[in-house]
A and B are shown apart, each in its own frame.
Chain A
Amino acid sequence: MSVPVHPAGAAPARPIRVLAAKVGLDGHDRGIKVIARALRDAGMEVIYSGLFRLPEEVAGMAVDEDVDVVAISILSGAHNTLVPDVLDHLRRLGAGDLPVVVGGTIPSEDAEHLRRQGVRQVFGPGTDLSTIVDSIRELARARAAGA
């Protein structure tokens, strides 16, 4: 796991912490790496899970690292199985309120299904970087305000 980088000149308030996670067996890490860099450029702290994570490992990392948002990237088509597993494990760890967003090649009816399971946002192919950054910032702020 990489060391979180604190953006230069960050405000005294704690920066938003995001777990960027790959779950399952696909090694396609182009998307998650691009998103992680965009989030850092926007002043957030990003923890990258590394490849081939099991759902329980992702949930455990999110809790251990005390993140504000979990961003999962998945390209293999296993999202309908693996993403609900992550949500289950988060609930089991008492972190059911942690916002989870998912990106990847996800057909629209699957995106609906994932939202019904509790995923807050689904970003399909071609989503603008700033849309993703803004959405994650919004979710983190809303959670902080609610807490």
Chain B
Amino acid sequence: MGAMPARLEGERARDVTSLSGLPLKGFYGPDDVADLDYERDLGDPGVYPFTRGIHPTMYRGRLWTMRQFAGFGTAEETNARFHYLLEHGQTGLSVAFDLPTLLGYDSDHPRARGEVGREGVAVDSLADMERLFEGIPLDRVSTSMTINGPAAILMAMYVVVGEKQGVPPERLSGTLQNDILKEYIAQKEFIFPPEPSLKLVVDTIEFATRHMPRWNTVSISGYHIREAGSTAVQELAFTLADGLTYVEACLQRGLDVDSFAPRLSFFFNSHLDFFEEVAKFRAARRMWARFMRERYGARNPRSWTLRFHTQTAGCSLTAQQPEVNVVRVTLQALAAVLGGTQSLHTNALDEALSLPTAEAARLALRTQQVIAEESGVASVADPLGGSYFVEALTHEMERRAMEYIERIEAMGGVIAAIRQGFLQREIAEAAYRYQREVADGERVVVGVNKYVVPPSEEKAVPILRIDPELERKQVARLEQVRRSRDERRVRHALEALREAARREQNVMPALIEAVRAYATLGEMVDTLKAVYGTYAEEAIL
């Protein structure tokens, strides 16, 4: 962007910057887009480099998927919430797993105490997955699973649930988050060290490339990077850098780029700085298209397109005056839609305090439905395209993200940068800077540091309570599974899994067999830990 113009009369005194700290001019004009070449930098919607969207008609052809994330308690309770959301017009499922599941512990592990079923549903074995999807036809509903460390195991479970419903793997559709790199960077739910973790990701990609053509193998996720406190520029840069790492790992395995790239997908955060978010999504598409075509020589146009899910920013929600969160979420959702998202989760107003109640979850879904069906914004593809400001900002996001990607590559890539603590430190720095700005009143958060009401006027919102009894119930069920299975078959399957891991073969077939035998998640993870080791990060303040 060009030089800052003199301040206009009546303008606020301080420098105006975006949430990421990009300096903003008072207005933008033709000079700001003088270098823009329509064919090279934008292209029509559906045309390389897809800045304006991946489909020619965008939402006129088909609306985005409304995919509300849900999961809590036991498999039955989550199954009931799934049926509730499907009845209210949701078009895809999205499973949240509890922390013990995410970290590969069975519900009766000492470290699972107090955590079972709290932040998601507890899954210990195939028995839980069967209950989770009871009455849900896996050939007609697509499922997104937010799972990373043990992603290969959950994918194996999904394949076997399909088998039991008579649905072959090639008809299963959905998305495995399966983005382990962002765990080391931001979310911190890792199990194994980065290198074997990356190998497991490539195993799932290879397996799905052969057997699950409708399956999105990795949802390369900036969401958690942003929630950990990054800026929009960092979110964009680190996410694409992770994506490039997966592509290169697959190429090293000997896979052809066009065989797997079309099934890679992305997951971004939509925060409050409206235009910066729109620009981020548009820049992401253009950058990925260029990387895939120019750097990796992909020839299939579907390999060039960046498809993404968006979730509104949980970290932007406030516990104070929670009803105001509905307004925040609406703006964030609108930015995601104007940015061309393929699927969207809108946060519920009570999420600064707990998982959403059913009513709050429905209102969040209704927010998307109003945008889709009442606002008219879905009628035209990329309606902000050509705006001097949006195009200049899109260019600036790309430029700054590329600088980061080049720095990471100069360090030896993402894993080297993680091991040096570079990415974690950059994010912590940004998080602290933001919090200071809020503390100093430079960044307004309505209801928190401005327009505050006294606590007596705060309306209490109903909160979803998780029954502490459920932990005992889940442990009892796990014991039941262990009693009723064929122990010899389990031991044999786990031994085969260990062998496959030791010989560096693709572990997916061995995992599927272990799942069929009702081996538990914890048993499978422990088997892999014995070969791969575990990871503990150096604590950086």
**Interface residues, chain A, with chain B CB atoms under 8 Å away:** 1-2, 20, 24-30, 33-34, 36-38, 40, 46, 48-52, 54, 76-78, 80-82, 105, 107-108, 124-126, 128-130
Interface residues of chain B: helix, strand, loop or mixed (majority)? loop
**B114 contacts A27, C-beta separation under 8 Å:** no
**B537 contacts A51, C-beta separation under 8 Å:** yes
Q: Nearest chain B CB to A92's CB is how many angstroms away?
A: 17
> CA separation between A78 and B112, bound complex, in Å?
10
Within 8 A of A (CB), among B84-117: 99-100, 102-103, 105, 110-115
**B99 contacts A76, C-beta separation under 8 Å:** yes
- Given A25-B99, A48-B539, CB of A125 within 8 Å of CB of B119: no
Interface residues of chain A: helix, strand, loop or mixed (majority)? loop
When C-beta atoms are compared, the residue in chain B nearest to A133 turns out to be B439
Q: Nearest chain B CB to A131's CB is how many angstroms away?
A: 10
> CA separation between A1 and B445, bound complex, in Å?
34
Q: Which of B103, B115, B318, B536 contacts A125 (CB 8 A)?
A: B318
**A29 contacts B188, C-beta separation under 8 Å:** yes
- Given A26-B119, A125-B353, CB of A52 within 8 Å of CB of B431: no
| Neighbouring A residues of B428 by C-beta, 8 Å | 30, 33-34, 37
| Neighbouring B residues of A129 by C-beta, 8 Å | 435-436, 439
| Neighbouring B residues of A38 by C-beta, 8 Å | 432, 435
**Interface residues, chain B, with chain A CB atoms under 8 Å away:** 99-100, 102-103, 105, 110-115, 118-119, 183, 187-189, 227-229, 315, 318-320, 352-355, 428, 431-432, 435-436, 439, 445, 447-449, 460, 463, 466, 468, 536-537, 539-541
| Neighbouring B residues of A52 by C-beta, 8 Å | 103, 111
| Neighbouring B residues of A77 by C-beta, 8 Å | 115, 118-119, 354-355, 466
**B189 contacts A27, C-beta separation under 8 Å:** yes
**B188 contacts A51, C-beta separation under 8 Å:** yes
| Neighbouring A residues of B183 by C-beta, 8 Å | 27
Q: Nearest chain B CB to A91's CB is how many angstroms away?
A: 19
> CA separation between A38 and B428, bound complex, in Å?
12
**A107 contacts B463, C-beta separation under 8 Å:** yes
Q: Which of B110, B119, B227, B537 contacts A50 (CB 8 A)?
A: B537
Could you list 10 examples of A-B contacts with CB < 8 Å?
A25-B102, A25-B111, A28-B227, A34-B431, A40-B541, A76-B99, A76-B118, A77-B119, A77-B355, A126-B447
| Neighbouring A residues of B315 by C-beta, 8 Å | 30
**B354 contacts A105, C-beta separation under 8 Å:** yes
**B320 contacts A130, C-beta separation under 8 Å:** no
| Neighbouring B residues of A26 by C-beta, 8 Å | 99, 119
**A81 contacts B113, C-beta separation under 8 Å:** yes
**B114 contacts A24, C-beta separation under 8 Å:** yes
Interface centre among A37, A49, A80, by most chain B C-beta atoms within 10 angstroms, is A37
| Neighbouring B residues of A51 by C-beta, 8 Å | 188, 537, 539
| Neighbouring B residues of A49 by C-beta, 8 Å | 539
> CA separation between A25 and B320, bound complex, in Å?
26
> CA separation between A130 and B460, bound complex, in Å?
25
When C-beta atoms are compared, the residue in chain B nearest to A20 turns out to be B541
| Neighbouring A residues of B114 by C-beta, 8 Å | 24, 78, 80-82
> CA separation between A24 and B352, bound complex, in Å?
19
